[in-house]
């Protein structure tokens, strides 16, 4: 076993060395300028063009900036690769890696490397490069992320990391279009206006009518009422009418104390609602553990009359089976959207900026920091992003009446048909693969009217319409959750409550109880467990959260 492990590690090291040699050899093939080596530290094949030096986009970027970037992927665990990279000293000029926050995983490795002087400080570069500097605006990233992670105490006032894959404004934040959806012919048959369904109880009553009607799927087979996508994702959307639309699960009380959503009567009420769905043969019992292939079949054939998740997967499922085109009357349509427990329309709540993200950092092996910043800053201009995302005008894109880049008709046709060859062609020209790893505080929606090439012209109109009904909204404040890690016994708290699937296991056991009384008791037992387990540590933890809530005047709950 030890020999096998040694051989595996040896092969990994050999692969890393050979990739490094290839990258350094490539530096000598560029016709002019500086070639920088970049690691995309994400486990899995990172697809690049066959020629990263002389593809048309690389040539154009080199003419503008004097720089070429060669990207290498990895085929091992992200944290292990970071450790190996720093231990070996074989470091590239640029690294793109996960930095989700806290002290564990990749975040801990990166923080340790910075505190040990392995990374270059960058704070003095930002004023010269405004397109990178906007990455640190509150709203692009959160105050919590800036204070606690990007300016972590162990950085001693230095800034080492550029947050990546962030939206530069609300229109650039991905709208995931969550909700509950029904096969379109169902409400028409029953004469129901689903836009007027605003509570979970109204949805439940509608489902009962649907169950009793006897609908058939596209093949004439019996149907099930409601399902989800993989592993129960996301049956909670049926019960969203019981939600508080809060930033966290911590709830401040009038007496100054704090409770947790799990300990409230609303938690019991919401989960008893799901028990009723299961007990009344409305919610597909298989859905709690089925996979996406099974879900695609159920939704794609119209066998499930309702599904809850994001809108897009259901649309894609019907396209996979052909139902979307052959039976447009059966296309799924959104319900509501529902209101929350206080009667407010549900929205996609977002912090004022991202908390945790991929980042870029620069090891001390980078001898060309100025040129590196010049290159990255240019890519994050409208001109540079057009090159990096769309490629070469006349070859891979044309311009619309507003002067915005659009895929050529042939590429757009292939994208709309689900033919991935359009991506292969774009990549060989040099488009898209660089932008994926080098965009910050994105303004692509303002610049291009779409966040990815082809999206505007290949958009599914019903999906775009639904996004307007359930918009993205940012909410200000310093999340109380930021203090969780400061609790001295936080590991013990996590082990007995938050970690793994403990709470989910408990609540789903309640869903399959024989009676409502039995289900209620299981949920109450969970609450009692939280109050008493490990000597009542969870309640002491909530006292700690209450104390921290009084430490700032901008706390968001």
Classify 226 as helix, strand or coil: strand
Greater confidence (24 vs 308) lies with 308
pLDDT value at residue 30: 55
* CA-angle at 542, arms to 537 and 545, nearest 5°: 130
pLDDT value at residue 2: 41
List b or e across 13-51, with b for residues whose CB sees 16 or more CB atoms inside 10 angstroms. eeebeebbeebeebeeebeebbbbbbbbbbeeebebbee
CATH 3.40.50.620 fits 178-350, yes or no: no
What is the per-residue pLDDT across 526-543, written as a single tens digit (0 to 9) for each? 999 999 999 999 999 999
- pLDDT interval class at 45 (50, 70, 90): confident
What is the per-residue pLDDT across 98-137, written as a single tens digit (0 to 9) for each? 999 876 789 999 999 999 999 999 999 999 999 999 999 9
pLDDT value at residue 416: 82
Q: Is 319 exposed, middle or buried (0-12, 13-18, 19+ CB in 10 A)?
A: middle
What is the per-residue pLDDT across 259-280, written as a single tens digit (0 to 9) for each? 999 999 999 999 999 999 999 9
List b or e across 259-285, with b for residues whose CB sees 16 or more CB atoms inside 10 angstroms. bbebbeeebbebbbbbbbbbbeebbbe
CATH of span 20-172+354-448:
3.40.190.10
What is the per-residue pLDDT across 299-309, written as a single tens digit (0 to 9) for each? 999 999 999 99
- Decide if pLDDT at 187 tops 90: yes
Q: At which residue do the structure tokens 């503008």 appear?
A: 64
Alpha carbon of 369 to those of 121, 132, 150, 192, 393: distances in Å? Answer: 10, 13, 19, 62, 30
Mean per-residue pLDDT for 443-450? Answer: 94
Mean per-residue pLDDT for 215-219? Answer: 97
- pLDDT interval class at 458 (50, 70, 90): confident
Are the C-beta atoms of 523 and 288 separated by less than 8 Å? no
- Decide if pLDDT at 23 tops 50: no
What is the per-residue pLDDT across 375-397, written as a single tens digit (0 to 9) for each? 999 999 999 999 999 999 999 99
- Decide if pLDDT at 8 tops 70: no
Q: 38: which strand partners?
A: 71, 94
**Within the chain, which residue ranges are assigned CATH 3.40.190.10?**
20-172+354-448, 178-350
pLDDT value at residue 535: 97
- What average pLDDT is seen over the chain? 92
């Amino acid at each position: 076993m030890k020999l096998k492990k040694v051989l595996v590690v040896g092969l990994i090291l050999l692969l890393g060395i050979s990739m490094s040699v290839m990258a350094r050899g490539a530096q000598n093939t560029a016709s002019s300028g500086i070639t920088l080596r970049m690691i995309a530290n994400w486990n899995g094949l990172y697809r690049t063009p066959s020629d990263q030096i002389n593809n048309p986009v690389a040539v154009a970027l080199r003419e503008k900036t004097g720089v070429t970037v060669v990207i290498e992927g990895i085929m091992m665990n992200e944290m292990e690769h970071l450790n190996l990279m720093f231990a070996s000293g074989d470091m590239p000029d640029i690294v793109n890696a996960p930095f989700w926050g806290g002290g564990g995983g990749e975040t801990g490795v990166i923080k340790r490397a910075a505190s040990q002087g392995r990374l270059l400080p960058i704070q003095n570069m930002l004023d010269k490069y405004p397109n990178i500097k906007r990455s640190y605006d509150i709203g692009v990233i959160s105050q919590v992320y800036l204070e606690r992670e990007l300016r972590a105490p162990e950085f001693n006032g230095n800034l080492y990391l550029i947050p990546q894959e962030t939206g530069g404004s609300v229109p650039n934040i991905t709208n995931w279009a969550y909700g509950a959806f029904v096969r379109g012919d169902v409400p028409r048959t029953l004469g129901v206006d689903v836009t007027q369904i605003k509570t979970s109880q109204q949805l439940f009553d509608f489902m009962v009518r649907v169950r009793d009607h006897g609908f058939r799927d596209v093949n004439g087979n019996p149907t099930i009422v409601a399902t989800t996508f993989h592993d129960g994702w996301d049956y909670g959307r049926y019960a969203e009418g019981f939600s508080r639309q809060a930033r966290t699960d911590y709830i401040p009380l009038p007496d100054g104390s704090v409770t947790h959503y799990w300990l409230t009567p609303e938690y019991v009420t919401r989960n008893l609602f799901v028990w009723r769905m299961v007990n009344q043969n409305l919610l597909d019992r298989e859905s709690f553990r089925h996979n996406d292939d099974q879900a695609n079949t159920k939704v794609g054939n119209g066998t499930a009359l309702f599904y809850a998740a994001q809108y897009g997967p259901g649309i894609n499922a019907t396209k996979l089976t052909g139902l979307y085109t052959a039976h447009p009357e059966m296309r799924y349509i959104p319900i509501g959207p529902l209101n929350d427990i206080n009667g407010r329309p549900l929205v996609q709540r977002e912090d004022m900026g991202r908390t945790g993200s991929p980042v870029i950092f620069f090891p001390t092996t980078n001898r060309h920091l100025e040129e590196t910043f010049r290159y990255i800053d240019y890519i994050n201009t409208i001109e540079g992003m057009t090159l990096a995302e769309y490629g070469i005008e006349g070859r891979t894109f044309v311009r619309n009446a507003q002067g915005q880049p659009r895929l050529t008709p042939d590429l757009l046709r292939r994208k709309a048909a689900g033919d991935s060859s359009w991506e292969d062609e774009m990549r060989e020209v040099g488009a898209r693969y660089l932008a994926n790893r080098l965009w910050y505080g994105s303004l692509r929606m303002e610049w291009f009217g779409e966040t990815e090439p082809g999206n505007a012209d290949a958009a599914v109109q019903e999906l775009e319409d639904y996004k307007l009904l359930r918009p993205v909204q940012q909410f200000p404040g310093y999340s109380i959750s930021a203090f969780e890690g400061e609790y001295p016994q936080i590991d013990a708290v996590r082990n007995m409550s938050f970690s793994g699937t403990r709470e989910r296991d408990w609540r789903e056991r309640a869903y399959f109880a024989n009676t409502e009384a039995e289900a209620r008791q299981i949920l109450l037992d969970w609450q009692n467990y939280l109050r008493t387990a490990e000597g009542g540590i969870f309640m002491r933890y909530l006292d700690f959260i209450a104390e921290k809530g009084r430490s700032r005047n901008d706390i968001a709950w």
